[in-house]
Each structure stands twice: as structure tokens, then as C-alpha cells.
Chain A
Amino acid sequence: MNCPIKSHENADLLLAYCARKLDSETAGLLERHMELCPDCRAFRDGQRAVWNALDQWEAMPVSGDFDRRLYRRIEQEQKASWVDRLFQPFRPLFLRPALPLAAACVVMLAGLLLEYPGRVTVDSNVTSDAPRAQSAVVDVQPVEVEKTLDDLEMLHEFNAPARAPGKTAKSM
């Protein structure tokens, strides 16, 4: 038999042996191996110590009114309105401390957006002049934009001959 510790393949055999879950044939093989293998013997002794220690940890008895409390909760739930039952799966979410605060922030933000549509922008350089500048941006008319673009185009045409006079003369 390959050493369960050294081969790493059958390491669970040792756990199963200590839990007395191995069949007698495999247990016999393992016992014969352990007579020769100090590592496996040490593992077995340590695991037995853990097993015995865990055996000492007895759980507390269940409260006498456990069933009564459970049935009362079931009864209350059956009496609950359909609205309560609808929100039942989401109830644990509201028990988390940060969520009500986050929900309040979302509601306030939604309120602001509804109150001032199109005016609420996120800007890190907010100063006292910001509202005036914002309203100026909002007041720009399409005609003014077109005029500015025309001016830019005209300037570009003036600049072109100045940059390449030879080429312009040829073409003329």
C-alpha cells in the first residue's frame, strides 16, 4: 500500500479510518502500513486526539418553547397581508445598516433631478459663478453657434494664403 501521506492521493483514507468509516479490508491494509510508517502513526494519533476532543463538546439542549415560537411565527406569517408576503424576500436587505441611508440618498437625488431637470450637472470645479456660467451655456442660440463657425472658417481661409503664398499664386 502506498503511504497515504506521501502519495497525497489517499490522504482521506486516514481521515476515514479515524472516523471509523473504512471497510474492514482497507482498514486492515492501513493498519499494517501504519505499523511500518511513523508519519501515518503520528497522523492517526493526532487525529484521534482531535476526534476525542470534539466528542467532549456537547451542544446545549434546545429550548423547550422552540416549537411553540416557530408555530407562532408560521401563524403570524399566514395572517400577514399579501403586501407583507410580497416584500418578505426583500426584508433582510432592509436590516443591513447602510441600505436605508443609501435608499434615502437615492430618493433625494431622484427628487432633485425631477425638480431641476437638465440643470443638475456633476462638476468638480463648482464656484460661486457656476450657476451664472451654467445659465449662459443654456442661453446660447443655434444661430450664434453657426455665426461663430462661419467666422472660424473665414479666418482659416485668410490664414491659408499667408502660410503658402507660392502655391496660392500658382492656383490663381
Chain B
Amino acid sequence: MGASAALDCDAELMLRVKEGDGASFALLLGKHRSAVVHFLYRMVQNQAVSEELAQEVFLRVYRSRESYEPTAKFTTWLFRIATHLALNSLRDGKNERNLEYLDDDSGEASNREAPDRGPSVEQRLVKEARLQEIRQAVGSLPEKQRAAVLMHKYEEMEYSQIAKVLRCSESAVKSLLFRAYETLRARLAHMA
């Protein structure tokens, strides 16, 4: 076990799970549930599918408890499982997902009931249109670029960690991110 892994509090919790401590698993779940679901939601852009995949992620973590060795940061391992499942899901049912994604947007819009003193209908429609544009811009990125951007932007991961999750070199991650942000700048720069 390396020094960095020894300092990883999550890895310590996972080692306790390995010893049969269910409470430590609950702590890990509570700590990372939202991050994993949100990452998967932004990857597949479907709430139901993202929760289903997140359940599978934590189920795999629990299943692997007996063979767990803290060779890397816990979150690296966690996001590697999540990314793997998301990429498989996208490859298996791309068209289906895209249709659901369009349905989701309408559902999301209708769920937001306007409070009396909230934004006007026009403001809400403008906001929805902007969000739709952002989702489409991110959704149009190649899968690995999308995963890299989401980990960089929302999980604030370092290049080295993203590289470990995606199993590529740091320079490859930099290149992925550079190209991804270039595409996003072309599509979203007018939102400034």
C-alpha cells in the first residue's frame, strides 16, 4: 500500500467494509452517491438510467469488497467503474437513450412548477432553452471527451486522476480536454 493510498480516508473505509463493517459502506455511499449519480446523469442524460447505473456501481463496489486492495485512490476506482458502465450503456443503446433524453427535457420542464414570486414564463423558457443547448453541446462530444470534461469540471479531478480513470496518459487527457473545450467554446461562447 502506498503512502498516498494510506492517507485516503475512503480507502480506509473500504478496508473496513472488507472486514465486514456495513456502517463504513453506508458512509461511503452517503459521501459519493450524489457525485456518482450526477456524473452518470450528465453522461447518459437520463435520470432513470443514471440511477440504475449508479446502483450497479455501488453494487460492484460491495461485491468487490473481499478482493479490494487500495492500490489507487478510492474515487479513481469508483469513477473508473462508473465511466465503464456509462460508456457501455451509451454504446449499447445510443438511439434509445437519445429519444429518452428528449423526453426527459420535457419532463424536467413540466416538473418545475412556477411559484407565485418566481421567474416569469418567458424567463423560464429562456433558461430551459439555454439548458437544452448546454446539454446538447455536451452530449455531442465524443464519449471519452465528455467523460473527461465532466470529471474535470464537476468533480474537479486532476489530470493524473482523470488519466487513471480513463486508462490513458496525462498528455492524452490534456489533449482530450483541449479538444472538448474547443468544441464547447464554438457552441457555447455566445452565452457569455
| List of B residues within 8 angstroms of A53 by Cβ | 130, 134, 137, 184, 188, 191
In angstroms, Cα B185 to Cα A51, docked, is: 9
Would you call A50 an interface residue if the criterion is a C-beta within 8 Å of the partner chain's C-beta atoms?
A: yes
A9 vs B55: C-alpha distance in the bound complex, in angstroms? 41
How far, in whole Å, are A50 and B26 apart by their CA atoms in the complex? 36
User: Whose C-beta in chain B lies nearest to the C-beta of A72?
Assistant: B55
A165 and B191 CA atoms in complex are apart in Å by: 100
What is the distance, in angstroms, from B113's C-beta to the closest C-beta of chain A?
15
Contact with A along B102-134 (1 / 0, CB 8 A): 000000100000000000000000010011001
Interface residue tally of chain A, by bracket?
Answer: 20 to 34
* Contact yes or no, A56 B131, CB < 8 A: yes
A12→B192 contact, CB < 8 A = no
Please tell me which one of the listed residues A45, A59, A77 contacts residue B37 in the complex, with CB atoms under 8 A apart. Answer: A59
Report the bound CA distance from A52 to B34 in whole Å: 21
Per-position binary interface string of chain A over residues 32-60, scored 1 when its CB falls under 8 Å from any chain B CB and 0 otherwise: 00000000000101111111111011011
B98 CB within 8 Å of chain A: no
Cβ–Cβ contact A70 & B47, under 8 A: no
State the total of A-B contacts with C-beta under 8 angstroms: 89
Nearest CB in chain B: distance from A93 CB, A: 12
B134 touches A62 (CB 8 A): no
Interface residues of A in 4-49 (CB under 8 A from B): 11-12, 15, 19, 43, 45-49
Chain B nearest CB, measured from A65 CB (Å): 10
- How near does chain B come to A70, taking the closest CB pair, in angstroms? 5
Neighbouring B residues of A51 by C-beta, 8 Å: 153
Closest to A74 in B: B62
Extra inter-chain contacts (18) besides given A15-B181, A53-B184, CB under 8 Å: A11-B178, A12-B174, A43-B185, A47-B181, A49-B188, A50-B184, A52-B192, A53-B188, A54-B153, A56-B131, A57-B42, A57-B134, A57-B135, A59-B34, A66-B33, A70-B59, A73-B55, A73-B59
